[in-house]
Structure 1
Amino acid sequence: MLYKTVYHSPIGALTLAADETHLVGVWLAGQKYFGAAYKEPFIERANHPVLQKAVQWLRAYFAGKRPEITALPLKLQGSPFRQRVWQILCKIPYGQVVTYGDIARQLVQEQGQKSMSAQAVGGAVGHNPISVIIPCHRVVGADGSLTGYAGGLQAKSWLLAHEGVQIK
């Protein structure tokens, strides 16, 4: 069974989803790939313990605190490549950004490959099912500009400004 609740944040309504024991999704209203990995319907359950914990995490984040991602039980569905990219996203510090190319270079080093396209990384970043908490908003273009965000560039801009990032 999958459960959901809606949290009204400064960037709009966020739908949170969980299975019995893990947070499986956080999506902005209208977000690209909303619930893409899940075919069964979500059952409304605001009092679900995992969803309540995620709401507390989001309240702290939007209040300017820096809650740890590890405080939440996360379960991500995706290919091994996407999973690795999402793990890298989790390590980007609050208030800092990296480029898609930076992540591609890290993966090249880890995997001993000759090259990897930043576009492949961008595809994995864009399919992040746990927005805001897994900070895909902290990934920018090679020149530091805002590029692609499944929840919209306005939300990405707001999140980065909230974290004190100077945006080009």
Structure 2
Amino acid sequence: LGSDSVHLMTFGQPRIGNAAFASYFEQYVPSAIRVTHEHDIVPHLPPYFFFLPHLTYHHFPREVWEHDVDGNTTFRVCDGSGEDPDCCSRSVFALFLSASDHLTYMGVEIAADDWSTCRIVMAQSVERLQLYLASNVITSKIPVDIIIADHSVQTDPSSSS
């Protein structure tokens, strides 16, 4: 809508368009970051076909891959292509993909109240994440503001007019 100050961070996002769309999106939302976790299957969907790069689905840049290296959680800032062959979206072999890795990001387990709702309930691990962020420095070439919503405040969607 004409705003050039949009900042977007997604977690476990699938591919949502072709290379032309990814380029267009990057032009209008240059401060977008896609966080991927370990072997999460969702960022691999729809599949990327390297032999049809102009016809296949393509991620927009920039990916930050959370994964385990020698027992330590690391965050790798991937190249600006959106399809870095050394990051999650392209480097994890299809047989090792995991649906369970889609349910935990940055140590926060995400679940719903029950299967009939889409309201997300954050686990106690949110408090661990807040402590982690308060005591650690996160570096990135792209400036990022991290906001954690207060999960103790719940709204009733039926009361809105």
TM-score, with structure 2 as normaliser:
0.27
Look at both structures and tell me which one has the larger radius of gyration over its CA atoms.
Answer: 2
**Structure with the greater relative contact order (CA < 8 A, sep ≥ 6): 1 or 2?**
1
Larger proportion of strand: 2
Larger proportion of helix: 1
